[in-house]
A and B are shown apart, each in its own frame.
Chain A
Amino acid sequence: MAGIRASRRDLLRYGAGSVSSLAVAGLTGKPSFSVNEALAQDDRVEIEYWHINTEVFGGPAVKEITAAFQAQNPNIAVAERFQQNAYTGLLENLQTSLAAGNPPDIAQIGYLYLDYVKTNFPYTPANELDEALGGGTFLSNFPETVLELGQAGGVQLGLPYAISNPITYYNADMLAQAGIDPADPPTTWDEWLAASQTIKKQQGKATVYVQLLDDNWTTQGLIESNGGQMLSCGGDAATATFDSPEGIEAIDLWARMCKDGYSLNVLNDQGMQAFLAGEVASYITTCARRQVLQEQASFDLRATTFPAFGTKEVRLPAGGNVLVVFSEDDAKKAAAWKFIQFMQSPEALTTWVKGTGYISPRPSVAEDPNLLGAFVRENPIQAVAIAQTANVRPWISFPGANGLQAAKSLFAATQEALGGQSTTEVALKDAAKEINDLIEGQSCA
């Protein structure tokens, strides 16, 4: 049985709340690791935190939170390390570092990759850490729906930290110039199509840019909002079903808009550049870009909801990440959990949300007038994202060892359809066939 041993100094250091938890955990033997003697020493514990936050995408907030934590905990040195190419890039580097036996202590894992991490990586589940070091009380600060975002196969891999959904940012000046009331922007695809025709005719510019990245995030939003499904989990095996008539119709609308010059078929960086340069009137992307867009837009920036297909219910994939602990050393695990608790504290979450645009995983923080309450009221873009949380669904990943390759197949098919290299139907049908071969025999997470 893995025991829990801690000196009096440890217990004081990690708070009275931890005392009972350590004792209880020690008695029950539930946690699979122990807080060893390393914690009893005054040695500095160094931990590494991997994140995807660039200087214009929450990086300053990460630095501010880390500095505040270090000021309070001089014995724990936190090295925050930015990882390129968002969650995909972080996962690649994580797997390589695990192979080298030098993983980070904490990493932001995109919801998309939770199943992959659970299947392939060694980690310490958040509930084990909470039981050993927090009396099992810390996780109770989060709604069950939020905690579920950090689960895969019934395991609480980590603690959801960033929650986002796709919203529609728009250039109110361009809409006004086209005679569209910026206070009453289009909210359905039909309305955006009508606006596109007007803007193209008057200004010769595109109207809607939908974020295009190899994570298929917005692709899922489009397909599922039109009533389609990415994966079917009926029976024992997962099957790709994005090539249903609803899925084809949704992607075909996007492709036709690109063909007609109403939308842009470019990767996200170029799309964002075009939006900020006033070359396209709207930009459908994560609410987490709120801060950077507000900083860099030289026009009246506003936001509205993800466009609906007529009266169909909008279904959006939850974006964001979960903080997962990969430490191998017990003292580092304890320090990592302490840092996670700090990052999830009301004050740090206030900094995090203001510095990004993510939705707080603790709704009480957004409602508290002393924390984010006033900010949300004064910031209608943030309010749009919060209003859409009811429409959020899990971000689908393709299961199994070939899941990442399957995701690439769908991305390639989307690009083929948008570029007009083949019809949407052919591109999606071919991709579904290829993906079903790749995930054959795999069950949904």
Chain B
Amino acid sequence: MRVTAGRGAADPVRPLTQTPAKPHSLRLGRTYLPYLYVLPAVVTLGVFIYWPLVQVVRLSFYQWNLIGLKTWLGNENYVRLARDPDLGPLLLQSLLYILLALVGNFLLPVGLAMLTMQVTRRAVTVYQSLLFTPAVISTTVGALLWQWIYLPTGGPLNKFLSVFGIGGINWLNDQNSALLAVSLATSWKFLGFNYLIALAGFSSLPTEPLEAARIDGAVGWSLLKDIIIPLLAPTLMFLGLTTILQALPNTFVPIQILTRGGPSDASTNLLYAVYQDAFQFFQVGKGSAKAVILMLMLGGFAVLQFRLLERNLEYDR
């Protein structure tokens, strides 16, 4: 048994009896044990995330059709991409998808969660169920449902709009509406999940600062801007970040089923273009170069958001 006393620096207490020195192997174990604990995570991340990332970067310097020999091109894929007149519209459409996702999968669920907080507990359950239902429907089935909703003749959406004298919109095959239609179908699917996260954030807000603010006369916009939003900052930042990072991947299935990127590439984006280049046209190098650009773009957003998150988290400390 080892007897020790308090830890006062002025009164260092030494063990009354000396414990035997730990064996070398035990000390080694203690040194390396933390690394062993993280090893499974490091290996998993390395094999499934970082190694493929390195490979994508490497492949972007080659010409390869998946089965033939790889031909080294240097930076040729990037040079061609920079000169490609389709790159501008592709980036613009990608940003548009992200922007629409922020509206449909960030602002809307946060707004709905805020409104839901105003109703009774029983009503909250009803709203939760209604809004979360699309999240449990498979993305493919959801996209097929929207395919029917968007039917230009006899489709429910156009039938509804015809009541207001609006008619004949070919949602999926008109260059002006295809991107919006895909984005709407995507947001419908992912709105419920984000709504639940936002609702959880609102539910966990501390009541004391809110009460204090109200006593001090804060109401409406000032209560929201100065008290609620800062308190909710971690939740909002998480939602915002995941919405941006998932905006393009979430559109893949809807695009594949509803428009295949058309008409005339009007509903495509950088992520779908990567798939088309690499797995439809088997130009893996070109697709990888686009993937690297996508990675940098989303990485930039992530860094920006992390910085904002750090700044806003000050409120919560």
| Interface residues, chain A, with chain B CB atoms under 8 Å away | 85, 88, 92, 95-96, 98-99, 120-121, 205-206, 214, 261, 264-267, 269-270, 273-274, 277, 279-280, 401-402, 404-405, 408, 411-413, 415-416, 418-419, 421
Contact = CB atoms under 8 A, between A and B. Distances in A.
Given A95-B282, A264-B153, A405-B281, A415 B67 contact: no
B174 interface: yes
Given A99-B67, A401-B282, 11 more contacts: A95-B282, A205-B153, A266-B151, A266-B172, A269-B147, A270-B150, A273-B148, A280-B153, A404-B282, A416-B263, A419-B264
A282 B36 CA distance: 67
B235 interface: no
Contact of B172 (A270, A274, A404, A418): A270
Interface in B143-200: 144, 147-148, 150-154, 168, 170, 172-175
Nearest to B258: A267
Q: Which 6 A-B pairs have the closest CB atoms?
A: A415-B263, A99-B66, A279-B154, A279-B153, A405-B281, A412-B264
Contact of A274 (B153, B264, B281): B153
A196 to B, nearest CB: 14
Query: Quick one: which of B150, B153, B259, B283 has the most chain A CB within 10 A?
Result: B153
B173 A96 contact: no
A132 to B, nearest CB: 25
Nearest to A405: B281
B128 to A, nearest CB: 32
Interface in B61-83: 65-68
B172 A421 contact: no
A283 to B, nearest CB: 13
23 contacts: A95-B67, A95-B279, A98-B67, A99-B67, A120-B67, A120-B68, A121-B67, A205-B153, A264-B152, A264-B153, A265-B170, A267-B259, A270-B147, A270-B152, A273-B147, A279-B151, A280-B153, A404-B280, A404-B281, A408-B281, A412-B262, A415-B264, A421-B264
B66 A98 contact: yes
Contacts of B263: 412, 415-416, 419, 421
A434 to B, nearest CB: 11
B220 to A, nearest CB: 46
A265 B263 CA distance: 10
Contacts of B281: 402, 404-405, 408
- What does DSSP make chain A's interface, helix, strand, loop or mixed? helix
Contacts of B68: 120
B21 to A, nearest CB: 54
B58 interface: no
Contacts of B151: 266, 270, 273-274, 277, 279
Given A99-B67, A270-B151, A415 B262 contact: yes
Chain B interface residue number, banded: 20 to 34
Given A120-B65, A267-B259, A419 B280 contact: no
Contacts of A85: 256
A270 B280 CA distance: 23
A214 B151 CA distance: 19
A311 B281 CA distance: 39
Interface in B278-292: 279-283
Given A120-B65, A121-B67, A264-B153, A92 B279 contact: yes
Interface in B240-297: 256-257, 259-260, 262-265, 276, 279-283
Given A98-B66, A214-B260, A277 B173 contact: no
A402 B281 CA distance: 7
A277 B280 contact: no
Nearest to B154: A279
Contacts of A88: 280
A415 B173 contact: yes
Given A266-B170, A412-B264, A421-B175, A95 B152 contact: no
Contact of A419 (B148, B153, B174, B282): B174
Nearest to B279: A92
A14 B50 CA distance: 50
B153 A206 contact: yes
Contact of B173 (A266, A273, A280): A266
B265 to A, nearest CB: 7
A317 to B, nearest CB: 20
A273 B258 CA distance: 13
A95 B66 CA distance: 7
Nearest to A416: B264
